[in-house]
């Protein structure tokens, strides 16, 4: 299980992108993206959607298994939590 920031960092590195490159492509600042990757701050859904799109991921793929407040949330459960 990983935190959202770890997943973004991993996918960014797999694609050979720097924080600055991904931030520019997603329309966010590099300091904002760094804070998301380091789990130092929460983020707006719209920004996560843009980051996921640049990384070539659907939001469902990104949320397949993330850790929220100590609980593993899988995509099917995530829909229930949001509804």
Higher pLDDT, 63 or 8: 8
What does the radius of gyration of the chain's CA atoms come to, in whole angstroms? 12
Query: For the residues 26-39, what does the mean pLDDT come to?
Result: 94
**Structural domains present in the chain:** 4-82 (1.10.260.40)
Helix (H, G, I), strand (E, B) or coil at 36: helix
Helix (H, G, I), strand (E, B) or coil at 56: coil
* Whole-Å CA distances, 26 to 36, 51, 83: 13, 5, 27
40: DSSP letter: S
The string of pLDDT tens digits covering residues 36-79 is 999 887 788 889 999 999 999 888 777 765 655 555 555 444 44
Closest CA to 53 of 26, 76, 73, 20: 26
pTM: 0.73
pLDDT value of position 60: 79
């Amino acid at each position: 299980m990983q935190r959202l920031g770890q997943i973004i960092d991993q996918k960014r590195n797999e694609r050979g992108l720097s924080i600055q490159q991904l931030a520019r492509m997603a329309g966010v600042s590099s300091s904002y993206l760094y804070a998301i990757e380091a789990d130092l701050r929460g983020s707006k859904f719209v920004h996560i959607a843009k980051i996921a799109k640049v990384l070539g991921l659907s939001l469902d793929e990104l949320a397949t298994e993330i850790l929220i407040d100590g609980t593993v949330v899988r995509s099917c459960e995530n829909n229930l939590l949001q509804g």
